[in-house]
Structure formats: structure tokens, C-alpha cells
Structure 1
Amino acid sequence: MLSTKVEVYSNYINGEWKESIHKRTFENINPADVEDVVGLFQASNEQDVKEAIEAAKAAFPQWSKVSPSKRAAILNKAADILEQNAENYAEELTREEGKPVTDSKNEVLRSAQTLRFYAVEGQTFTGETFPNDDPNMKVSTEREPLGVVSVITPWNFPISIPSRKIAPALITGNTVVFKPSSDTPLIAIRLVEALHNAGIPKGVINLVTGKASDVGDLLVTDPAIKAVTFTGSTSAGEDIYAKSSFTTRTQMELGGKNPIIVMDDADIDLAATLTINGGFSLSGQACTGTSRVIVLKDVKDAYVEKLIEKASALKIGNGFEAGAKIGPLANEKQLKNVLKYIQYGKEDGATTAYGGEQITEGDYKKGYYVQPTIFTNVKRDMRIAKEEIFGPVIGVIEVDSYEEAIKVANDVEYGLSASIVTNNLKVAQAFTKDIQAGTVKVNRTTTGNLMNAPFGGLKNSSTSTFRESGRVGLEFFTQVKTVYIGY
């Protein structure tokens, strides 16, 4: 039976916090303790979405004419609010998603930085003037907002990913309908609260919570939606892309099967550290997480030994526990999926070098915990070597040469992030050209990206239309108009 102390949270539509039209809610559960209900959230339907879209549509004409400096002031004030409440928001984020609370705080603070970044960049993002042969004519371009934008985001970085979509959308004059993951609705509400308290006009930002299957396709198919920016699985992205109109702009950042190549001249300790950090941070639930290690034969044994040593030193536990590096998986579905792929690895003949079991004893029995898992003797055609797992599972593939390593690395449908560990500058430079990935790193983890640098994938990791992050992240949210003026 639900405690009367469980708080009920609302949608945010047209500047007001309100319950869903049909008044149904859903529970948000703490993945570290399934008996802990974080809150009750609105189980929205298509009527709620339609109301949010209509509010955004009505707000667009006026918001698009607001000066960039006034839009920037709102983003900066919202950033102030996030920073002032970072401790509390971090605790709420860890409770609903599971990551270590220090990581949660860093994510909240990074989101504030993202708002500030676009508050500055958006004020200088403009068109061009072109020389021409007519002395009595000026030819230039202007950048204009698109209109209503759907923002659909995942649970693994549930405030930083929305921030890097919503901030550039707002600063360029668009209005937004925001649909966060049902696993992390509370931190999404905190982001919208910050914008509300910063004085954003009604209808400019709208939030609806609930399952994608319940809100229907309106976030993609409604004629008022001019653009959809989505981060999530490749299968979900393909579905959104197929349903959207050819006049609806789409931005899709999708799955990954990210490799790290360990060359025979590599610093083995560094290589193992980078692999652990890339593969097991956030319990492996990052689209850029290290999933495959492609290691040269001569150093494989030494590398695997070091990798197991570092993995065994990781503390698994509740995100509030001091020193905990690996928290629970985000939900029961994730747990089942990870355990399924661990079983696939065993069935297909890979060797379980470390981990590979669900943890159910003691403090772990109420949470979605699984041991970080290292497979060796992995072949390039195994399911654990080809398919995205999105969990703390790493497969080690042995190769004889750099050329073979590149072939194996590129032999998947994804192309999001990739890294190499080497002290050979010639090999490093060749790798940046040979690898099929949108984010390429040398002697660094596959995870992480700068907020001021472009981010996106190749192949089935992205639609490769418009990049996120950095100054180029503004391009998706604007259209170019060419103007000829004779005088």
C-alpha cells in the first residue's frame, strides 16, 4: 500500500503545473531499493500532449520576437537556480536513477554550464553577408527559429542531455514540448522548474510525463511539430524517423557498440584504467560506454590480468554509499537485458573472466544489481560483440595487427565513439582516419564529451544530420532565409 507521504508531481503546460486530463499516475521507483517510491507522476495521454503542443504553438510568435539578450537572461537565471540547488537535486537524481551522488551533482552543475554556454553563443549566432557584382544590392542570410520542437530524452543522463537540447532550442526562439524518460521524471521537472522560476513566458516550455506508448505519436506526427530531437535506442529512433513527416526536421542520437583498441606499445595500466572507466562507469549505461576491447595478441594476457585487478577493486553499492563506483541498473528491464546478454556470451563460447552474476544478497537484494562482467575469447561474430548491451559488460577480442583491429572495430552497425591506446603517433593519426565513429579519441576513454565541441555518431548511431553540443548545436534549431535587397 502506498504511503500518504509519497508526493504527486504534475505536468507543466502553458505556464501551469497541472494533473493529466484523465488523472492517472505512475510510480517512479528507486532502482537501489524497489520498495522506495520516489514519487507519483502524471501518466499523460494524447490529450495532454495536444494541449502542450497547442500551448507551445500559441507562444511561438511572441517568443520568437523576444531579444536574444532577454532569452539569455532567463537561461542564466535558470543556471543560477540549478547551481544553488545542486546538492538536493543530485540526491533526487541518485534516488531515481541510481548513479553515485557525486556523479549526479556533476551532471547538475554541467547542465547549468550548458545553459550558460548557449546563453552566450546564441547571442552571436547569425547569418552571413555575401559579396556580389551589383553595387546597389545587399545579399545576406538570416537565421530564424523553426517553431515547436519536441524534445524526447533518455534516463541515463536525464538532465544534461535535455539541457543540451532545450537550451539551444530556446535561445534561438523556438518553443518546446519536453517528454523525459519515465524512469527519471523528477530531475526533468527540476529543470523545467528552474526555467519557470527564471521567468520564462507561459507556453514556451511544456513538460508531459508518461510512457511513450500512452502519449501516442503526436510528439512526432502533429503538424505543429517542426522538429524532433531524440536520444535513445536505435530501434526507437528508427520508429520516430519513419513516422515523422518529410517536412519535420529530425535529430537522432542513438546506440553504440564502442571499441577501445589496445596496441602492443600501449601503457597497459593506462589501457586497463581507461577501459574500466569507459565500460563500468554509470554501470555501463552510457551510449558512448566501452563495450568491446580489441587488444593485440602480444599484450593480451598482461592487459586482461590488469583489467581484472582493477575491476575487482570497484565498490558496488547504493549511489549514496561512500566510495561506490557502480550503482544499480536503472530498472528491471535493464537488469533482465544485461543478464540475457551475459547468458548469450556464455552460450556462444566466450570465457567469463570476471563477474557475470546478479547480486541479490544482503543490501543488494532490493535493487537491480549485477556484477561488472569481463568476457575473454570473444569472437567478432558473437552477439556480445555485435549488439548493444547497455550495461557493465566488456568483451575482449584478440587480434594480430592494427589492420585487423580496425576491421573488427568497424564491423558493427554502430559508429558512435571509439578510442585507441598507443604511444605511436603514426598509428594514432591513422586511427583517427580509419575508424568509423563520430567521436574519436586517443589515450582517453570512449565516454565523455566537451559541451563546447560537436557530438554525434555515424552509421546507425545517428541520422548524421545535425550535431549536438558546441556552437554547431544551434544549427538544428534554425532555418536559413536568403535576403536580396536592392536600393
Structure 2
Amino acid sequence: MTTLESYQMLIDGQWRAASDGGSFASINPFDAKAWAHVPAATSTDVDDAVKAARRAFEDGPWSQSTPLHRATLLRRLGDLIKDNADELARIQILENGKLIREVAGQTNALANHCYFFAGAAEAPLGETLATSVPNMQAFTVREPIGVVAAITPWNSPLALLLWKLCPALAAGNTVVIKPSEVTPVSTLVLARLFHEAGFPDGVVNVVTGAGPVGAELSAHPGVDKIAFTGSTAVGKKIAATAAERLARVSLELGGKSPNIVFPDADLPVAVRGVISGIFAATGQTCMAGSRVLVHTDIYDEFVQALAERTRQIKLGNPLDPETEMGTVACQAQYDKVLSYIEVAKSEGARLVTGGSRPEDPDLADGLFVQPTVFSDVTNDMRIAREEVFGPVAVVIRFADEDDAVSIANDTAFGLAAGVWTRDIARAHRMIRRLRAGTVWINNYRKTNHVAPFGGFKESGIGRENGIHAIEEYTETKTAWIDTGNAIADPFNPRA
């Protein structure tokens, strides 16, 4: 490991190794080679980071920062992200195998999150209340919660971090970040920009390591709010931990989202949309449209068209702009995806295309799984109910609109849904009837910094993006002012 690139954690404005010297390797999923090593944080490191954030929140200059000051720093951070976007994109690709054609645009768009929440920092966040009490003025103010633990996943490490970091900082909180152990380097490279932008020491801290580090951070009594993106199983554990001390949480969790195709849809467009919904990012997105619900009248035609286009998807080097699908991010996830393919076969689903490693010898070292389509799937199968988080689409028949809604909503999740139809009345009905936090009509997988994102049911708690996100990082305080001897004698009701 001495020949690998070496990175350190950021705690209280200082770059540090782990207190016990421990580290772990970052593996490139395209060639299976280690390319960097990163500190494995200890309990001492986590405690130091939380205490640094607490000092910055309560005693440091951040505690007295004005909305204008926070907005200025966020705008500077946005400018620096734009200046360093190529490097930030390259590092993410080395870590998780996402495509340059996707990551480049996504990374450049991160600056827009900074600019949007810079504006939100200066937006009015209180209200005057029309009370029924004479000679009393009442109003509300929003104040930061305190120290925020931001625990982020490996599939879009910087985008999903900025979804948390920007509103948290705009509201006046301090932050301790714990990135996934699969993708820690991109967060550490981004952290170099905090000091350059002018954020005071301790306002933003980064600790790196595996699951136990995140558990330590979630359980730390100095953490006031936990913002987590990841699996529903881990999210439930975090919620239970937070409940012991009534810490605030926002959880963006798993999904098994339906992509519903009606007979009146533009079928070539719908096929392209379904392809994008499940095979973009190698299916490793919480919003992946992994359940493809197709009306029985067009089922066979659609499955054939979907399979033909799926077979044409070009796998290859994620840094090649011509590549259409990259690798699975890590060995554990690769093994999980292949195991679910075997589960689908054992359940009686029909393998239409894919289902194994590609045969191309140029891809032999990478964690590649062929884009896979199963048909003849019913909604009670495990492959239709459990989140695979990989390039596996299951196609399910439905008979009519009511049947589509019933199948779509018959899931523990409720993150997203797509609908493909030319019938505008049906589109509006489906938006109302689908139990999902986002519904796309004749498109899929679109997000933006102005649009709130989050799930129903076991897909999470709270919303990220949009002005709603500020509410997730603030507490509401009500103030009452006596403007004219409004207090009566409590022992003389006529007074």
C-alpha cells in the first residue's frame, strides 16, 4: 500500500490519519486494482470530529455567522466545484465505476446546489401569526438544529452529499460527514475546497471507514441530526438509534419503483425511458425503475423491443465516453446482483437477456454484469419485491389502470414511479393514485436542486432538495411579545 495515493481525514480544519494509524484500500471496480488508501477512523476520531463540530456551532465564528456570510461561502464553494469538476468526476469514476458521460454532467451540476441554497440561506424563514389574543404579537423563527451527521452512499457520493451539506450549512448547522467506505476519496478531495472557500475550522469534518464508523457517529450524543442515504435496513437501525435520544433524522432509503407502460404510449420512447430508468448507473440508484409494468395488449411486443435494445448496450471502460454501462461498484454488490439473478431463475421468471458476466475478455478484470431482463414475473416473487440495486429489470403484466395501480402500490417501498401514456387525464389520475414521492410522466430519473425528493413508506423520512430541505435542518421557535399589558390578573378573571 505504500505505492498507493494516500489521503487523510479532515477534523477541526486539520488533515489527520486515523488515531491508531489504521487504513484501508480503495479499489477501482474496472480493473480490480487498489489505487488509494484512506484512514480507518476510530471511536476517538469520531469523537474528535463531533466535538469540533460542536465547538464551531456553539462557540466559534460559525455560531455568529449571518445568512449573508453563509450564502457567500456557499457561492464560493460552488465556484470552486466548477473549477475542479473534472478532477471530482474522475475520482468518482475510479471509486465506483460510473460513466464519465453521466458523472461529468452530474458533478458540474453540484455547483447549482450551492448557488440555490446560498439564496435559500437569505430567504425569509419565519412568519407573523394572526393570534386571537389581544395586545399580543406572535411570530416564528427557524434556527439550526446543531451538529449534523451526513452519512452518504457509494452510488452518487458527491451529489447525495451536497443534497445534505448545502441545506445544512445554509441553515447554520455544522456537519460531520461519513462517506461510504467504497467511495471515500471523492469526499476527501471535495473537502479540500471547504478551507479554500473560507469555511471556519470545525464547520465541516470528514471521517472515513466502514459501517462501524457510521454506527459510532449515529450513536454519538453530540449529534443532533442524522441525514442518511442508503439501504432501508440500515436506515431502520439509524432511526432506532436516533430514537433513543430523540435526535432528528432524514432518511432517503431503498426503492422498488414501478415504470408503467400503457398501450397508448409512444413505445420506442417508452423503451428508451425504461432502459434509462433501470440500466443507467448500472441500476445502482435508489430510484431505479426496476419493476416494469406493461399492459397485456402490448406485453410481448414491448418485451421483445426492450430485449433487443438491451442487448445493444455497450459495456466498457467508464472513462470512455462511448461506454453505455459500467461496472457494479464493489465485490459485495456484484455478488449480491448475481445471487438475485439466480433467485429469479429459481422462482420461475423467464430470463430474456443477460443474466451473467459478459464474455468480452477486455472486461474480464472488471465487476461487470450484463444488463438483464426477466419476463413472466409476478409481483409476489422476491425479484419483484426486494431491492437488487443492479442492472436487472423484471417485466410484469397488468390488465387495466386499476390493476396497474394495485401492483405498483403493492410494495413496502414508495420512492418513485414512472408512467408512459399519451392520455393526459390518465396521467393526472396516476399521479394522485401512486404512492410514491416522485412520479414521472413520459420521462424517468429526472431530478433537480429545486425539486424535493424523498419517499413514502419504507423509502424514507423527510425530503431533500428544494426549499423544503431547509425545513429538515431547522427547528421552529415561537416568540410572544406583550404589546400592551395583555397579562390579566390570574386570580381575578375580570381584571
| Greater Rg by CA | 2
8 Å Cα contact 1:268-1:302 kept in structure 2: no
For 2:285 and 2:372, how far apart are their aligned partners in 1?
Answer: 16
Query: Quick check: 185-194 or 266-275, which moved more?
Result: 185-194
> 1:130 corresponds to which residue?
129
8 Å Cα contact 2:151-2:214 kept in structure 1: no
> 1:469 corresponds to which residue?
465
Q: Secondary structure at the match of 2:291?
A: strand
Q: Secondary structure at the match of 2:115?
A: helix
Q: With structure 2 as the length reference, what TM-score do the two structures score?
A: 0.95
Residues 421-441 of structure 1: per-residue CA shift (max 9 Å, x gap): 111122111111111111111
2:456 matched to 1:458?
Answer: yes
2:46 matched to 1:49?
Answer: yes
For 1:77 and 1:200, how far apart are their aligned partners in 2?
Answer: 10
2:56 matched to 1:59?
Answer: yes
Q: Secondary structure at the match of 2:290?
A: strand
The verdict on how the C-alpha distance between 1:344 and 1:133 changes in structure 2, with shifts beyond 3 A counting, is closer
> 2:493 corresponds to which residue?
none
> 2:179 corresponds to which residue?
180
Q: Secondary structure at the match of 1:414?
A: coil
Instruction: Quote the offset at 1:444 in angstroms.
Output: 1.0
Q: What are the residue-to-residue correspondences of 1:187-336 with 2, within 5 Å?
A: 187-213=186-212, 215=213, 217-244=215-242, 245-336=244-335
Query: Quick check: 347-356 or 238-247, which moved more?
Result: 238-247
User: Identity of counterpart residues, as a percentage?
Assistant: 38
2:440 matched to 1:427?
Answer: no
Please tell me the residue identity of whatever aligns with 1:387: E
1:16 to 14, 17, 23: 14
Please tell me the residue identity of whatever aligns with 2:371: P
Residues 14-58 of structure 1: per-residue CA shift (max 9 Å, x gap): 0011111001110000000112x2310001111100000010011
Please tell me the residue identity of whatever aligns with 1:46: S
2:81 matched to 1:85?
Answer: no
8 Å Cα contact 1:64-1:145 kept in structure 2: no
1:40 to 29, 37, 41: 37
For 1:96 and 1:59, how far apart are their aligned partners in 2?
Answer: 31
8 Å Cα contact 2:88-2:190 kept in structure 1: no
8 Å Cα contact 2:57-2:146 kept in structure 1: yes
For 1:484 and 1:239, how far apart are their aligned partners in 2?
Answer: 39
Please tell me the residue identity of whatever aligns with 1:243: T
The verdict on how the C-alpha distance between 1:462 and 1:117 changes in structure 2, with shifts beyond 3 A counting, is same
Cα root mean square deviation, aligned: 1.3
For 1:252 and 1:356, how far apart are their aligned partners in 2?
Answer: 32
> 1:379 corresponds to which residue?
378
Residues 436-474 of structure 1: per-residue CA shift (max 9 Å, x gap): 1111111111x23121011110011013xx211100000
8 Å Cα contact 1:65-1:173 kept in structure 2: no
For 2:161 and 2:270, how far apart are their aligned partners in 1?
Answer: 32
Please tell me the residue identity of whatever aligns with 2:276: N
Give the aligned length. Answer: 480
8 Å Cα contact 1:139-1:482 kept in structure 2: yes
For 2:228 and 2:86, how far apart are their aligned partners in 1?
Answer: 28
> 2:28 corresponds to which residue?
30
Q: Secondary structure at the match of 2:27?
A: strand
Q: Secondary structure at the match of 1:33?
A: coil
Superposition misfits of 4+ residues, deviation over 4 angstroms: 133-136
Query: Quick check: 249-258 or 220-229, which moved more?
Result: 220-229
- What stretches of structure 1 of length at least 5 have no aligned partner? none
Please tell me the residue identity of whatever aligns with 1:168: P
The verdict on how the C-alpha distance between 1:295 and 1:76 changes in structure 2, with shifts beyond 3 A counting, is same
Instruction: Quote the offset at 1:132 in angstroms.
Output: 3.6
The verdict on how the C-alpha distance between 1:275 and 1:216 changes in structure 2, with shifts beyond 3 A counting, is closer
For 2:380 and 2:403, how far apart are their aligned partners in 1?
Answer: 14
> 1:337 corresponds to which residue?
336
For 1:191 and 1:115, how far apart are their aligned partners in 2?
Answer: 13
For 2:204 and 2:56, how far apart are their aligned partners in 1?
Answer: 9
1:449 to 447, 464, 471: 447
Please tell me the residue identity of whatever aligns with 2:361: G
Instruction: Quote the offset at 1:246 in angstroms.
Output: 4.4
Q: With structure 1 as the length reference, what TM-score do the two structures score?
A: 0.96
8 Å Cα contact 2:17-2:39 kept in structure 1: yes
